[in-house]
Amino acid sequence: MLSKFIVSGITAIFFLSAATGDPITIPLPTGWPAPQYDNARNPLTAAGIALGRRLFYEPLLSRDSTVSCSNCHLSFTAFTHVDHALSHGINDRIGTRNSPALMNLAWSRSYMWDGAVNHLDMQALAPISNPAEMDFNIQGVAERLKAAEDYRGMFEKAFGSGEITGERILKALAQFELTLVSANSRYDRVTAGKDTFTVQEKNGYELFLKHCNSCHTEPLFTNYQFENNGLKPDTILNDQGRAGISGNPADELKFKVPTLRNIEISYPYMHDGRFKRLKDVLNHYTDGIEDSPTLSPLLKDKIQLGSREKTDLTAFLLTLTDREFLFNPEFRPPAPK
Amino acid sequence: MQRNERELTLPAMNYLFALLFCMSVSLLPAQAAHIHAYATCHGNKIETGDTLPGGIALHTARFYLSDFIFINQGKEIFREKNSYHLVDLEFPESGDWTIHSSGFDEISFLLGTDSLTNVSGVYGGDLDPVKGMYWTWNSGYINVKLEGFSPHSKGRNGAFGLHLGGYMPPFQTDYRVQSGVASSEHIHIELDVCPMFEQADWNNHFNVMSPSAEAARLTELLGKSIRVYAE
């Protein structure tokens, strides 16, 4: 009970600050690197975060006002669309990629599976305009919010005047998204010396360090690089990954290494959501790697894991689940007015 | 009693007026330069809706000019703050603004936006994404947007769309213009679009929508066709 109280500290202080109107900074969990996001140009405020949260759950952002960010990014499932291989948007249109889980975004160097977006502020423009997602535009969003009843007051509280601009919409969304920090899993408590792994989890952790940590690097469980992890290309989606952005053939079939935090509940897995179970993922890494010129050198040699080792590794991965993050009431839809 | 108040008040008001006058004089710039930026075709000013030589119908023409630096004898004497200007031929007044500087013999500016601007998050004003000059599927500003129809274009019904942007090597599309110009009250900046149109690849690149060698080539052609002169 005491340890739970202590590990909740970061999040509690964060939202207490937001509630009191004190200056808010992105929380920096012990041992983590400095965030990539520089909030000097977008200082976090309680009103800004509240506005961003409201916008995150706002269907007016989509062309037919039916879909909000939360449709593909549900708070209870680490802000991904659990059980959906590919994201879907208005009119039941299906996209080409799995919706990524959203957490610890301040530490990310780029966004989207192919790193197409270089800054969190700009990320929302992609789903808003994607025909398979919201099929709208930021100009139209701004006009709708100007016509809405209560947004002007929220913008005034957040930015000092009621002017509604694209810049302010995007900054508010970024402010809310920056609060989505997951750092209170059992793994974190063990690292902080407040808990211990079981024997099985400890074995799994050692296997993780040996086979996975190079790409899914602690403590954020990603190295933020782009890698080809040997998935057989989907001939229907024909997704070239990072090469589609960089134009560099050396980037073909490379996708951003996702975080493993909250991996237990953020299925299905991979950029195209092809694997429903963690078991499928581990089987891919031991028996399913397809060689190609851009395959990660770390996967050139077959990974050897027996069934017991896979069970142990899975046990460790489950310690990355952060229930406080998943059930944080501050992340849920704002109460209706 | 009333008279005494007036006697006390009048000198105070005179003093106040004198102070305000001095303040207003000190706030006035010694001289201002009015910038007039627009597009031309071989020196003739154009507007959207015009049909250019070669039968090109120009429906949209927008471009960024940024990072204005005023120079005298090789030394920077004034650098404009928040120096981002979206010139939109649909709104000719967007090309007119004032800079409080004088005594320069050279000016320098970018056609487009620099790489730092492209990686620093969202901005307002002319850089606000509501202006429609930011790629939504890939990061970066569209530095020049030209849309219309050309009888040479292989696009649908002769349509073309040149969205020229890109901030990372090897496809950087900002172009630094440095031009000697006499200090004057009116400075004209002409972007001549026709030399670029005459060298466009209408068969293969009637749509340019991403950072590419073609985007960089076309932007360079545009940058080289900028003329700066004092009125």
Looking at residue A337, its pLDDT comes to: 66
- Beta-carbon contacts of B74 under 8 Å, excluding residues fewer than 6 positions away, are B106
Q: How many CA atoms lie within 13 A of A14 on its CB side?
A: 24
- CB contacts, 8 Å: A170 with chain B: 122, 129
Q: State chain A's mean pLDDT as an integer.
A: 93
With CA atoms as reference, the chain B residue closest to A115 would be: B138
Write down the pLDDT at residue A14.
54
Helix axes A46-56, A151-159, angle to 10 degrees: 140
Q: Which residues of A touch B130 (CB under 8 A)?
A: 138-139, 142, 165-166
pLDDT of B14 reads 53
CA distance A51 to chain B (A): 17
pLDDT for the residue numbered A336: 77
Task: Please check whether residues A170 and A42 belong to one and the same domain.
Answer: yes
Contact A166 B122 (CB under 8 A): yes
Dump pLDDT digits (tens) for B49-101: 999 999 999 999 999 999 999 999 999 999 999 999 999 999 999 999 999 99
Nearest by CB to A116, which of B122, B123, B139? B139
Which residues lie below 8 Å from residue B179, measured CB to CB, with a gap of 6+?
B106, B107, B108, B226, B227, B228
What's the pLDDT tens digit per position in A7-48? 344 454 455 444 445 568 888 999 999 999 999 999 999 999
Retrieve residue A131's tokens. Answer: 């025909």
Provide the 10 A C-beta neighbour count for residue A279: 13
How many domains is chain A partitioned into structurally? 2
- Among A128, A142, A245, whose Cβ lies nearest the Cβ of B138? A245
A30 and A177 share one domain: yes
Q: Is the dihedral of CA B134, B135, B139, B143 positive or negative?
A: negative
Provide mean pLDDT across the span A140-168.
97
Q: Do A296 and A199 reside in the same domain of the chain?
A: yes
The closest CB to that of B130, out of A120, A121, A142, belongs to A142
Q: What is the mean pLDDT of residues A301-319?
A: 97
Regarding whether A200 and A54 lie in a shared domain, the answer is no
List, for residues A197-236, the tens digit of each pLDDT value: 999 999 999 999 999 999 999 999 999 999 999 999 999 9
Q: What is the pLDDT of residue B7?
A: 42
C-alpha–C-alpha distance, residues A203 and B195, integer Å: 68
Pick the closest to residue B115 from B178, B63, B165 (CA basis): B165
Q: What is the pLDDT of residue B1?
A: 35
Please name the residues in contact with A307: beta carbons below 8 A apart, sequence gap of 6 or more.
none
Q: Which positions of chain B have pLDDT values less than 50?
A: 1-11, 21-30
pLDDT of residue A82: 85
- Tell me which amino acid residue B139 is: S
My answer on whether A291 and A176 are in the same domain is: no
CB atoms within 10 A of CB B22: 10
- Above pLDDT 90, what percent of chain A? 89
Cα–Cα nearest to B36, from B72, B81, B87, B83: B87
Per the CB < 8 A criterion, the answer to whether A263 and A320 are in contact is: yes
Residues A70 and A90 in one domain: yes
Is residue B191 within 8 Å of residue B222, measured between CB atoms? yes
| Nearest Cα residue to B84 out of B107, B62, B68 | B68
User: What are the backbone dihedrals phi and psi of residue B152, each rounded to the nearest 5 degrees, phi first?
Assistant: -90, -15
Same domain? For A151 and A274 the reply is no
Rg, chain B, Cα only = 23
- Determine contact, residues B47/B36, Cβ cutoff 8 Å: no
Main-chain phi, psi angles of A310, to 5 degrees = -65, -40
Q: How does DSSP classify residue A231?
A: P
Answer whether residue A275 shows pLDDT above 50: yes
A41 to B120: CB separation less than 8 angstroms, yes or no: yes
Beta bridge partners of B187: B35, B230
Contact between A121 and A170 (Cβ < 8 Å): yes
With 70 as the cut, is the pLDDT of residue A90 above it?
yes
Residue environment code for B24-52, b if the CB has 16+ CB neighbours within 10 A, otherwise e: eeeeeeeeebebebbbbbeeeebebebeb
Quick one: A7 and A137 in the same domain? Answer: yes
- Structural domain boundaries, residue A66: 2-182+327-331
A41–B121 C-beta distance less than 8 A: yes
Residue closest to A116 by CA, chosen among B161, B140, B131: B140
Rounded Cα distance between B183 and B204, Å, is: 43
- Tell whether A247 and A300 lie within a shared domain: yes
Structure tokens at A167: 């810049």
* % residues pLDDT > 70 (chain A): 93
The CATH number that applies at residue A260 is: 1.10.760.10
Transcribe A271-318 into DSSP letters: TT--B-SHHHHHHIIIII----TTB-GGGSSPP---HHHHHHHHHHHH
Q: Is the residue at A337 inside a domain?
A: no
* Strands (DSSP E) found in B129-199: 142-149, 159-165, 175-180, 186-192
- Best residue of A38, A113, A114, A118 to probe chain B, by most B CBs closer than 10 Å: A118
pLDDT, residue A208, reads 98
Distance CA B183, CA A91 (A): 59
Residues of A in contact with B129 (CB under 8 A): 122, 125, 138, 166-167, 170
Q: Which residue of B has its CA nearest to A137?
A: B130
Count of CB atoms within 10 A of residue B125's CB? 12
pLDDT tops 90 at residue A6: no
Both A178 and A191 in a single domain? no
Please tell me whether residues A228 and A103 are part of one structural domain.
no
Confidence at residue A19, expressed as pLDDT on a 0 to 100 scale: 46
Q: Closest to A122 (Cβ–Cβ): which among B130, B139, B171?
A: B139
To the nearest whole angstrom, how far is the Cα of B178 from the nearest Cα of chain A? 30
* Exposed/middle/buried for residue A19 (C-beta within 10 Å: 0-12, 13-18, 19+): exposed
What pLDDT, on a 0 to 100 scale, did the predictor assign at position A83? 83
Are the Cβ atoms of B136 and A142 closer than 8 angstroms? no
- CB neighbourhood size of B77 (10 A): 16
- Contacts with A158 from chain B: Cβ below 8 Å: none
Q: Which of B122, B132, B212 sits opposite A121 (nearest CB)?
A: B122
Average pLDDT over residues A114-126: 97
